[in-house]
Structure 1
Amino acid sequence: MMSFTLNQNEYLERINYKGSTSEDFESLKSIRLAQHRSIPFENFDICLGKGISLEPDVLVEKLIKNKRGGYCFELNGLLLLALKSFGFQTQELLGRVHLAGEPTGRSHYVILVTIGDEKWLVDAGFGAETPLIPIPLVCNQTVSFEGQSYRLIESELYGFMLQKQYDTEWKNLYSVDLNHVCPGDIDYGNYYTSTSPKSIFVQGRIATIPVENGKKTLFNMQFKKVIDGKEEIIDLEEGESYLNILEKEFGIALGVKYKDLKPLQ
């Protein structure tokens, strides 16, 4: 990664961003949001039996030039390349996912950005639950954006726990600590997440992308669109129409036949 140079213009064009890239919070927030709204979260290379490479040139080829999406290691990997290119001070972190109650291993890849004396948790790759804005590394401080609220709390076992508010209750999303992460840690997490039979990314088909006042999500054979609180659900059929939905709703053009996808378990 040290010898890799990101083409900033290609990246900015891919995320439809024409704003500032200065090393300040407003630029950080805007760049992250632009990528999140332009590049979908998806796992369809895994569904095709392909490996997930995190080499910078492969990330650029897939996510920028081929206009595909990816999951946390890819999406935040690309965002990290961009932020470092723009001069931001960054640190890679690995987190445990708590959505199912029992925490996972360190399988979620996120970025810590330092601006002056402040640190921000930056994430563009947590699927439908992705925080919409950078989260300040300050415990018990509620951060709200577009009707969604988040906070970090201190966890004795896991470091910092990121939570999202649902009505009056707070739901655990994932936890991170600030321990050093080396390339081998990332390789281990990426390999497990993309190959283990226990991984949701191996078990199912997933795609999601935010839209204005809502989001679009695909899980296995169901497509869901929620805009302004109104929910539309479509049960999908096997065949080429499935791939048409992927391309129309998420911009994911696989260039394969439906039969090339691994059967659902």
Structure 2
Amino acid sequence: MQDKDLQAYWKKIGLMHAPPVCLAGLTQLHQAQHRRLPFENFDVVLQREVQVTPEAIVQKLVYQARGGYCFELNGLLLQVLQASGFEARAALGRVHLSGSASGRGHFISLVTIEGQHWVVDAGFGSHTPRAPLPLVTDQVLWTDQQCFRFLHTDAYGYLLQRCMSVVGTVDERERATFDSANAEWMNLYSFDLEPVCEGDIAYGNFYTSHAPTSVFVTSRIAALPTEAGSITLLNQALKVVVDGETTTLELPEGDAYVEALNTYFGIRLTASFDQFRPLPAII
């Protein structure tokens, strides 16, 4: 990553300079990017090729008012981590949201600090962890508004779960009395520690952006965390969550839809609504 691109990146995410190479710096970097670069699939919606070369990712996410999905958002974050002195590498995961494991279609970063692995993910939509997570199993892991845990499985390696019983901020007293055994856990994604090469990323990105059954091909998606919650979009339904309370809006078609992408997510498209891929018919 060239120095001029790195300087433009710091400005884009609201940091003055590179954070220190430590857990606090890693958390600051992750949070800054996660809250400024939206998760979105509008290049797929517009039937444009999603380019995941380092140069293409920088050009789109740093120099345009755009976001992307995991191969782009976490691809950019990995470049920055490595350029900033962190010991970081890629890992590929299988998504479990449908109830069964997908192919290796989710890209994350693994950062090692003083011998401890941290999972750093800024690109899993509304379920994206709001902070780096230590790769430890069978322990409850908290962010400011979320609850996770990793399990180890023989079939898939590490499996990340999110507790769906936790909504909004949980104070220290509630955390101390949290009963993980009786909580509602959702499987998010699994991964192992095997090496990842450029070909693996190319395969995963191509399927994600072209397969007729891919959610990115059949839906319009955006997500952006806020200080007090999140803003998410699925097709016409826009949800704004503040302190655990959800407001749902139905976005109209046409120019107002494109304008809403800019208003809520900071996404500015060089295209009009009538260029969007049609949504599948509801049967």
Give the TM-score normalised by structure 2: 0.90
Letter in 1 for 2:203: Y
Letter in 1 for 2:251: L
Instruction: Give me the whole-angstrom Cα distance separating, in 2, the residues matched to 1:175 and 1:76.
Output: 16
Instruction: Give me the whole-angstrom Cα distance separating, in 2, the residues matched to 1:118 and 1:39.
Output: 27
Instruction: Give me the whole-angstrom Cα distance separating, in 2, the residues matched to 1:39 and 1:54.
Output: 16
Segments of 5+ residues of structure 1 without an aligned counterpart are none
On the 8 A contact 1:223/1:235 being kept in 2, the answer is: yes
The size of the alignment, in residue pairs, is 262
- Pick aligned residue for 1:119 from 117, 120, 124: 117
Aligned to 2:206: 191
Letter in 2 for 1:179: E
Q: CA deviation at 1:90?
A: 1.1
- Pick aligned residue for 2:144 from 129, 143, 146: 146
- Pick aligned residue for 2:228 from 183, 190, 213: 213
Letter in 1 for 2:2: T
On the 8 A contact 1:19/1:27 being kept in 2, the answer is: no
User: Map of 1:10-159 to 2, 5 A cutoff?
Assistant: 10-18=8-16, 21-159=19-157
SS of the residue corresponding to residue 60 of structure 1 reads: helix
Q: CA deviation at 1:19?
A: 6.3
Question: Deviation digits for residues 67-122 of structure 1, max 9, x if unmatched?
Answer: 20000000000000100010111121000001111110100000100112111111
Instruction: Give me the whole-angstrom Cα distance separating, in 1, the residues matched to 2:89 and 2:60.
Output: 23
Aligned to 1:258: 273
Question: Deviation digits for residues 34-73 of structure 1, max 9, x if unmatched?
Answer: 1000000000000001001111221111101112000000
Instruction: Give me the whole-angstrom Cα distance separating, in 2, the residues matched to 1:18 and 1:138.
Output: 32
SS of the residue corresponding to residue 67 of structure 2 reads: coil
| Worse-matched range after superposition: 31-40 or 18-27 | 18-27
Instruction: Give me the whole-angstrom Cα distance separating, in 2, the residues matched to 1:246 and 1:198.
Output: 24
User: Map of 1:154-173 to 2, 5 A cutoff?
Assistant: 154-167=152-165, 168-173=183-188
SS of the residue corresponding to residue 150 of structure 2 reads: strand
Instruction: Give me the whole-angstrom Cα distance separating, in 2, the residues matched to 1:22 and 1:250.
Output: 28
Q: Percent identity?
A: 44
Aligned to 1:233: 248
Instruction: Give me the whole-angstrom Cα distance separating, in 1, the residues matched to 2:236 and 2:195.
Output: 39
Segments of 5+ residues of structure 2 without an aligned counterpart are 166-182
On the 8 A contact 1:146/1:213 being kept in 2, the answer is: no
On the 8 A contact 2:111/2:119 being kept in 1, the answer is: yes
Q: CA deviation at 1:137?
A: 1.2
Give the TM-score normalised by structure 1: 0.96
SS of the residue corresponding to residue 38 of structure 1 reads: coil
Q: CA deviation at 1:20?
A: 5.3
